Copies of this chain bind each other. A is one copy, B any other.
Amino acid sequence: MKKLKRSGRLVDMTHFLLQHPHEIVSLTHFSERYQAAKSSISEDLVIIKDMFEEEGYGALVTIPGASGGVKFMPKMNKQEAEQLIGELVQALNKQERILPGGYLYMMDLLGNPKLMHKVGRLFAAVLADKEIDAVMTVATKGIPLAYAVGHYLGVPVSIVRRDHRITEGSMVSINYASGSSDRIQTMTLARRSLAPGSKVFIVDDFMKAGGTLRGMVDLLEEFEADLVGIGVLVESAEVSERLVDDYLSLTKLTNVNVREKVIDVTEGNILTKLETS
């Protein structure tokens, strides 16, 4: 790369950092890339850091020592988070979403990559200081969420399957009780798709009693993996007994009546977990 002025470096470094969340980048990397002194690079990074932190895009953390450098940790400020939750609540509060069984049609939201990216950034903001090695979800509708969170945390995604059309080599299966129907079902994860001992954040689009999430938590044990937390786009409040305790929810379905076409969605608990910075 040719020698650049500060203005060019700022554009290029911003681009680079955004594409490498939660990775430690050495100052040497930048100083070689731009043929610039480390002192100039440090000054550039201060400008980026100030801007990112002021607007709540994320933190730029300096890691000292020989293997040190800077790490970009995506964040979201309270105002942007409130606006995002507000948009979701408004979008969900539409009676035409109501499906038989009290489910909600959500593919228009889940099918929107920009919205999913924002949701992923909000989860990543709340989880920024946790040690996480992988994001797990169950096919199909949790996948967009899982990739968005995985992207902003810089970690891989493991996809649990409920079907048997599987071409992924040796698999680990467990049985679990779907909370709503008490029906025994099977879920499966490829042996190679999660490293033993991983610290895992689990996500799904919708949680009723939490049977599917409970199944995934149980599946972690088979991989000697640890649960870091659970996140859902929508939790349903209409359950007598919840099979998981601790979770982050973006929105909460407090009332749905299929016959009378009534729906009531409010904000979930995630805003209370967002550090005010």
Contacts and interface: CB of A to CB of B under 8 A. Distances in A.
Given A111-B156, A140-B140, A169-B105, A15 B18 contact: yes
A101 interface: yes
Nearest to A115: B156
A78 interface: no
Given A51-B11, A157-B144, A165 B167 contact: no
A147 B113 contact: yes
Contacts of A10: 7, 10-11, 14
B168 A99 contact: yes
Contacts of A117: 19, 151
Most chain B CB within a 10 A radius of its CB, from A6, A14, A150, A163: A14
A50 B12 CA distance: 11
Interface residues of A, number: 57
Contact of A105 (B1, B55, B57, B192): B192
Q: In terms of DSSP, what is the predominant structure of the interface of chain A? A: helix
- Oligomer copy total: 2
A113 B150 contact: yes
A193 B141 CA distance: 13
19 contacts: A1-B55, A8-B50, A8-B51, A11-B47, A11-B48, A14-B15, A20-B114, A99-B167, A99-B169, A105-B192, A107-B190, A108-B192, A111-B157, A111-B159, A112-B156, A139-B140, A143-B144, A147-B147, A147-B148
A147 B144 contact: yes
A154 interface: yes
Interface in A59-114: 99-101, 103, 105, 107-108, 111-114
A113 B156 contact: yes
**3 residue pairs, one from A and one from B, having the closest CB atoms:** A113-B151, A103-B167, A14-B14
A77 to B, nearest CB: 12
A111 B193 contact: yes
Nearest to A10: B10
A214 interface: no
A162 interface: yes
Most chain B CB within a 10 A radius of its CB, from A18, A52, A161, A169: A169
A114 B193 contact: no
A251 interface: no
Given A15-B57, A139-B139, 9 more contacts: A6-B7, A10-B10, A11-B14, A18-B18, A19-B117, A99-B168, A105-B167, A107-B168, A113-B151
